[in-house]
Chain A
Amino acid sequence: MISKGATRNSNSRRVKFARRFVSALLHMRNRNPRPGSLSIEGVRTKSQRIKIAAYLSMAHAVGSRRAWSRAVLSKLGSRARRHMSRMGRSSLGSLKKKRVIRSYSPGELGQAKKLRQLVPGGKTMDICSLLEETAHYITCLATQVKVMQTLADNFSK
């Protein structure tokens, strides 16, 4: 049945994401032994890093099958970060692909534009594939939230 395969895929995706994310968290923790992370700035930075780690982990779990995961990986990937740090912001601008905002159906108003901004890689997609990517992205986000919630609960106990 398709659902079985889907469940298997979702489970494996969830497991992959969880593993990667937890290892990233551990890595982060080991990197900063005790920096006084309770400061607001520290917490904010850390939360940003964790957020990026979460998106990256999910993108890796999905792989390159989806346009949005590819976009996330190219943007947030380690190579992109290294590139960014080395060459500065300008190079990152050149890395961005040309954005073609297409509005095929006039009846979409500004919603398609908003959706494009929300979904990674959505700027260069037509509505049809944008909707498809959105659906997949939503499911992955949901699993991401679930896993992170579980982690947070467990860690806070």
Chain B
Amino acid sequence: MGDKDKFELENRNEDPMNYAPSVSDWGFGGANLTNTSIGLVPKVNPMAVSKGDLIGSSSCSSTSMVDAFGPTIWDHHTNSENLGFCDNGVQKNTSDTFGIRKGDPVALRSIDKTFDMGWNPTSSMLKGDIFLPNAPAMLPQRLPQFPADSAFIERAARFSCFNGGNFSDMFNPFAVPESMGLYSGAGGVMQGTQEAFAGSGLKSVSGGQSKKNEPSVGEVSKDVSLSVEHGAAGGSPPKDERSQSHVRSHDESKQRSGGSGNDSDEAELSGAGDQDEPSVLEGAGREPFAKGLDSRKRKRNGQDAKLDPAKGAAQQSGECAKDKTEIQQTGDQNPTSTTNRSSGKHGKQGSQASDPPKEEYIHVRARRGQATNSHSLAERVRREKISERMKFLQDLVPGCSKVTGKAVMLDEIINYVQSLQRQVEFLSMKLATVNPRLDFNVEGLLAKDILPSRVATSSTLGFSPDIPMAYPPLHPSQRGLIQAGLPGMGSSSDLLQRTIHSQLTSMAGGFKEPTQLPNVWDDELHNVIQMSYGTSAPSNTQDEDGSLPSGQMKVEL
């Protein structure tokens, strides 16, 4: 009794036994019998088990997969793109695979310089797909594309938070071209953004952006600032300067992962196609540029000062009213988003919680139309994690595919766990009665266990459904017998005869309902045992179970 007492004590003290059966179960409360969830088959398909393993590693995998998605894509893109496109000097920065036009080596190189540090990873994302067919003609007109670029940049910034963006969407060949080439990363995004916008590719664009920006968020931001400075300080020809500034602006807009007002970006992009005055473009470029810097803020507080003048200058230019307004719109939006974001978490990226290797934080990017408060972002991440886990559980628990809603799902999960624990208890009881016959070939049993398919499916199926089935008749009759495992459980007398004559059959005849036992069996049990002891030891238990009409039938027998 000592052990038993201790165990019972443990139960009261939330012993692990509570995990399986509740205390009431343990204490033969029997009340739980009525609660059994029906139809729980102990047989869980192997997939579930494998899923469990998945879950086992899910702690790392769930995030790692997400995380891996970003960085790997980036890395992948970087490699592929670099090889493909950078023939101008861009290639030198392996990562900078801007879709730079071949026809603009000078500009490209200058751009490369600026982008080098910061945009290596990001540029790769952009993929140099952006070969604009009219590149040569566009060369001198780089500026015209600027508005598009700026808009593009802003958009890129906005979309950067979309995770899993399809890069393919981004890289549809656009007419936007030149600027794209110039700004490589920015250019590519622009094209992508234009198309994406048209085709609801916002997400993809942002995804691409996010990918691009992820690495840039942290250190890259620093790099960008460096590049900005570099561009500003460089005494390159005006063209280069402009390109650089354009690039910068693109970078900025790209970096600016604002989750707001993408529509304005779209409009801007569409307007970008127009050939605008260089001055306008410049201004437009600078504006987003400044804003971009602001958005990237955390590490670059100092740069804001630099940007502001640029911003002012940009605003002053304004040939293209449409562009201007558009740009201003984005400008307006950006500061708000920027401030929100900068106040929030450090360089958020991607709506998913991704952990780029360089960063120490979990970066989350606000999606379009969502609040960018740091708290809400954190909550969003949490909610997403929880919903992801709930989905996984939904696959595990049988019969929950149609259930929607957390509350119902949780109820189902709880029921399932309780039923599994109850099954364990039943089986342990059964094994306790059967144990004396454990002379078997243990290895053979193990070999059977190893088999993935269920060997004793019939008994299994018979077992679990019977348990709930047994409960209703059990309670009303207050009979302590549960002929678990007997599929067609007939009258108790039939059962009794079967058990007695067939001795230990595959039916879980020997299975006693623990909760009922003490109440019902005390007297009859002994009688039954003594009476039927001669037949076979194991059958005693079965007899006990079968004697629903209690000892009377046994006596007759």
Contact = CB atoms under 8 A, between A and B. Distances in A.
From B19, B43, B423, B440, residue with most partner A Cβ within 10 Å? B19
A152 B2 CA distance: 27
A149 B430 CA distance: 9
B440 A155 contact: yes
A108 B479 CA distance: 38
Contact of A135 (B1, B389, B435): B389
Contacts of A5: 53
Interface residues of B, number: 101
Given A45-B3, A132-B389, A146-B42, A96 B13 contact: yes
A20 B417 CA distance: 23
Contact of B10 (A14, A84, A139): A84
B357 to A, nearest CB: 22
Contacts, number: 300
B542 to A, nearest CB: 10
Interface in B50-77: 50-56, 58-59, 61
**Chain A binding surface, main DSSP class:** helix
A149 B42 contact: yes
A144 B424 CA distance: 8
Contacts of B421: 118, 141
A151 to B, nearest CB: 6
Given A29-B435, A40-B517, A138-B52, A71 B16 contact: yes
A26 B430 CA distance: 15
Contacts of A141: 417, 420-421, 424
Given A50-B431, A155-B438, A10 B55 contact: no
Contact of B18 (A25, A65, A117): A117
Contacts of A152: 427, 430-431, 434, 508
B134 interface: no
Contact of A11 (B420, B428, B452): B452
11 contacts: A2-B54, A40-B525, A52-B16, A92-B10, A127-B386, A131-B389, A142-B52, A146-B449, A149-B463, A150-B448, A153-B455
Interface of A: 2-3, 5-7, 9-11, 13-15, 18-19, 22, 25-26, 28-29, 34, 37-40, 43-52, 54-55, 65-66, 71-72, 75-76, 81, 84-85, 89, 92-93, 96, 104-105, 107-109, 111-112, 114-115, 117-120, 123, 127-129, 131-132, 134-157
